Amino acid sequence: MKDFTSFLEMDGIRPAPYSANSHWVALERWDALKPREIAEELVRAHALIYEKLPKRVKAVLALPEKERAKLIRERKKELAKSK
């Protein structure tokens, strides 16, 4: 697990456009990190974002895919009616 400054010291990695203030980085090429390292960092990034989601969003994401899709369709229809 590396931190933001450690990544920036590596060749082929730079601050992510529009997200550098949140300490996100962008790969300039795929071989800047080993595939296993990329996978590990993506899992870590997903966990960081997921933990910041509201409880109701986490509850929707926990639904089976068909139920989630149905709920999203219904909410979109409700939003369209209110406009």
Residue 53, SS3 per DSSP: coil
pLDDT tens by residue, the chain, 83 residues: 688 899 999 999 999 998 888 889 999 999 999 999 999 999 999 999 999 999 999 999 999 999 999 999 999 999 998 87
The pTM of the full predicted model, rounded to 2 decimals, is 0.72
**Residue 82: what pLDDT?**
83
| Residue entry with tokens 């071989």 | 31
**Residue 2: what pLDDT?**
81
* Biggest CA pair distance of the chain: 51
CB 48 within 8 A of CB 37: no
Q: What burial letters (b/e) apply to 14-44, b meaning 16+ CB within 10 Å?
A: eeeeeeeeeeebebeeeebbeeeeeeebeee
